[in-house]
Chain A
């Protein structure tokens, strides 16, 4: 069974450009999460989808970040326009309904220069 997959694994963009990160959760997992780790800091929650609905987006830093999950399958996280402080690793994770176990992807490394 395929795990959580993320694309791209690495991205280097200039300040002001746009980047879109994609996450494919484990098949059948209704819950999808985005987390971010800025260099030297904790891994922090960004948002949580249940199917296609945003359950909690309290961790989204500002309105330059837009997450979508059309059809309740894969999700995208768009950063527009990117700023230097957006650099970090963006993790996607998924879980089955009411499961305590959350499965993480390998992360998307974003560097904004």
Chain B
């Protein structure tokens, strides 16, 4: 069964510093990969997704992620953290066969320190 691992349930960065949130998936067949964000008292919002094609994908709010098949990873980055980036981030995977069931990681809470 598909599994998604997020390293670090809590990550703190200083405002202006690089944000790096780690995600690894388990399947031998590369799945479709997603990052969702949940701001306080809001729902899950799609940040970006990888399905096929270019392995570096850009999302909203300056975030990007790179699919690395050899490392089974899909880490999320942002060059310079902003206070408004404080939220919980979820990595997720969907089997590329087209079945739409999504498997989530446990989530990483990002704290941005002024």
Chain A residues within 8 Å of B, Cβ to Cβ: 3-4, 31, 33, 35, 41-45, 48, 56, 91, 93, 95, 98, 100-107
Contact yes or no, B49 A100, CB < 8 A: yes
B35 close to chain A: CB less than 8 A: no
Mark out the residues of chain B between 59 and 114 whose CB falls within 8 Å of any chain A CB in the assembled complex.
90, 94, 98, 100-107
B43 close to chain A: CB less than 8 A: yes
B42 close to chain A: CB less than 8 A: yes
**Closest beta carbon of chain A to B46's beta carbon, Å:** 6
Residues of A within 8 A of B103 (CB): 45
Which of B90, B94, B106 touches A41 (beta carbons < 8 Å)?
B106
Residues of A within 8 A of B46 (CB): 101-103
Chain A contact residues: over half helix, strand or loop, or mixed?
Answer: strand
**Closest beta carbon of chain A to B97's beta carbon, Å:** 12
Q: A44-B104, A45-B103, A95-B100 are in contact. Are A100 and B42 (CB under 8 A)?
A: no
Residues of B within 8 A of A3 (CB): 43
Further pairs besides A102-B46, A106-B41, A107-B43: 5, Cβ < 8 Å:
A44-B104, A45-B101, A48-B100, A104-B45, A107-B44
Q: A45-B101, A56-B101, A106-B42 are in contact. Are A100 and B36 (CB under 8 A)?
A: no
Residues of B within 8 A of A35 (CB): 102, 104
B27 close to chain A: CB less than 8 A: no
Residues of B within 8 A of A107 (CB): 43-44
